Amino acid sequence: MSDTVKKRGLVAGHADFAAGLIGAVEMISGCGNVLIPIQVRGLCGDDIQKLLYDTCVESGVRVIFTDLQAGSCTMASRRVLKQLGEGVLVAGANLPMLLDFAMSSNENAIEAATTAAERGRAAVSVHGAPP
Amino acid sequence: MTLVLNRIDDRLIHGQVVVGWGQPLDVKFIVLVDDAVASSDWEQELYRMGVPPDMEVRFHSAADAAPLLDAYRTERRPGILLTGDIATMRYLVEHGDVRDVNVGGIHHRAGRTQHLRYVFLTPEEQEALRELFTLGAVVTAQDVPAARAMPLEELLAAREGA
């Protein structure tokens, strides 16, 4: 991945969630390098918040995807957006959502994230469930 | 049912609590005891957002919570008592008759030594956990239900990441 590509979003979650999803985005689309993985093993809530805040400030990114609505990354991200006074958080990220975001031609990353969230929500399907 | 878990976790409400413990124990309410959160509507809304619609969260300061714990223990629904630090749990052990304490998450911070993947302690915090035992509480470390509950002395002797 090239470091010269403009970063558009952070992905944060439990264990290897971020690296796994971004690796999948890269494999499918070649666009994984617009996303920054955040792993938070062993960090307290304050340190997660600081890591996310510092990464947002250094990268200029204002879009954060997290794995779980109740997760500590989601809690910390909401505090970070409050600190920054701008940006968007999408909790419950999945691969279709991140693919849509990474491949979006919309220059406005916040708008692209909002659209991607809807695509990700719509991409969940169930097959073979009993009637 | 009653308070099925009395947990120290510096992340307070998060995935392990809501999903990891909440689902298998069918938890219907969380008693979150934290002086700072109890005084902030914004923080309370943040934590409420993190739980499913059928799970209630009640916020108290330590002083307000202690006399209410007996009533919480008589609730028909299962609940979790949650504090973000050892000192708050100690207050509830002393003044709220808490008799078992789950160390669920005390994470990295300057001055702390790693004992487990999810437990880092300063020497003062090690002593504070011993004091909980002296006050009559059974203290174990266990991050998720599928893990083994590790007794206090084993926790204090454990070293990871060295």
CATH number at B125 reads: 3.40.35.10
Q: Give the separation between CA B77 and CA B26, rounded to whole angstroms.
A: 9
Which of A43, A71, A82 has the CB atom closest to B107's CB atom?
A43
Give residue A66's identity as a one-letter amino acid code.
T
| Contact assignment for A47 to B109 by CB distance below 8 Å | yes
Give domain status of residue A125, yes or no.
Answer: no
Domain co-membership, B56 together with B122: no
Domain co-membership, B1 together with B54: yes
For A77, name the nearest residue in chain B, comparing CA atoms only.
B46
pTM (global) more than 0.95:
no
| Residue B56 predicted with pLDDT over 70 | yes
Which of B48, B80, B112 is the last residue in one of the domains? B80
Give domain status of residue B116, yes or no.
Answer: yes
Mean pLDDT of the residues in chain B: 95
The answer to whether B108 contacts chain A (CB < 8 Å) is yes
Q: Look at residue B162 in the predicted model and tell me its pLDDT.
A: 58
The answer to whether B120 contacts chain A (CB < 8 Å) is yes
For A49, name the nearest residue in chain B, comparing CA atoms only.
B11
The answer to whether A27 contacts chain B (CB < 8 Å) is no
Give domain status of residue B35, yes or no.
Answer: yes
Q: How far is CA B59 from CA B5, B8, B78, B81, in A?
A: 16, 15, 17, 10
Confidence of residue A86 (pLDDT cuts 50, 70, 90): very high
Express each pLDDT in B77-126 by its tens digit. Answer: 999 999 999 999 999 999 999 999 999 999 998 899 999 999 999 999 99
Domain co-membership, B129 together with B75: no
The answer to whether B111 contacts chain A (CB < 8 Å) is no
pLDDT > 90: what percent of chain A? 86
Which of A43, A47, A70 has the CB atom closest to B18's CB atom?
A70
Domain co-membership, B24 together with B71: yes
Give the CATH number, domain containing residue A49: 3.40.50.510
Which residues 6+ apart lie within 8 Å of B87 measured at CB?
A: B128
Interface test with A, best of B8, B9, B13, B14 (most A CBs within 10 A): B14
Domain co-membership, B73 together with B1: yes
The answer to whether A78 contacts chain B (CB < 8 Å) is yes
Tokens of B129: 């956990």
Give domain status of residue A130, yes or no.
Answer: no
Domain co-membership, B57 together with B119: no
How close, in Å, is residue A60 to chain B by CA atoms? 24
The answer to whether B12 contacts chain A (CB < 8 Å) is yes
| Residue A3 predicted with pLDDT over 70 | no
Give domain status of residue B87, yes or no.
Answer: no
Across the range B31-39, mean pLDDT stands at 98
Give domain status of residue A4, yes or no.
Answer: no
| Residue A85 predicted with pLDDT over 90 | yes
Domain co-membership, B125 together with B153: yes
pLDDT > 70: what percent of chain A? 98
| Residue A2 predicted with pLDDT over 60 | no
Give domain status of residue A129, yes or no.
Answer: no
Across the range B24-34, mean pLDDT stands at 97
Contacts of B108 in chain A (CB under 8 A): 42-44, 47
Domain co-membership, B60 together with B114: no
Give domain status of residue A122, yes or no.
Answer: no
Handedness of CA A59, A71, A81, B119 (dihedral sign): negative
Give domain status of residue B157, yes or no.
Answer: yes
pLDDT > 90: what percent of chain B? 93
How close, in Å, is residue A111 to chain B by CA atoms? 23
Give domain status of residue A92, yes or no.
Answer: yes
Max Cα-Cα span within chain B: 45
Give domain status of residue B94, yes or no.
Answer: no
Count of structural domains, chain B: 2
Domain co-membership, B72 together with B147: no
Which of B80, B114, B131 is the last residue in one of the domains? B80
Express each pLDDT in A12-39 by its tens digit. Answer: 999 999 999 999 999 999 999 999 999 9
Give domain status of residue B68, yes or no.
Answer: yes
Please give the residue range of the domain that contains residue A60: 9-115
Count of structural domains, chain A: 1
How close, in Å, is residue B148 to chain A by CA atoms? 19
| Partners of B9 in beta bridges | B105
Please give the residue range of the domain that contains residue B151: 99-162
Confidence of residue A41 (pLDDT cuts 50, 70, 90): confident
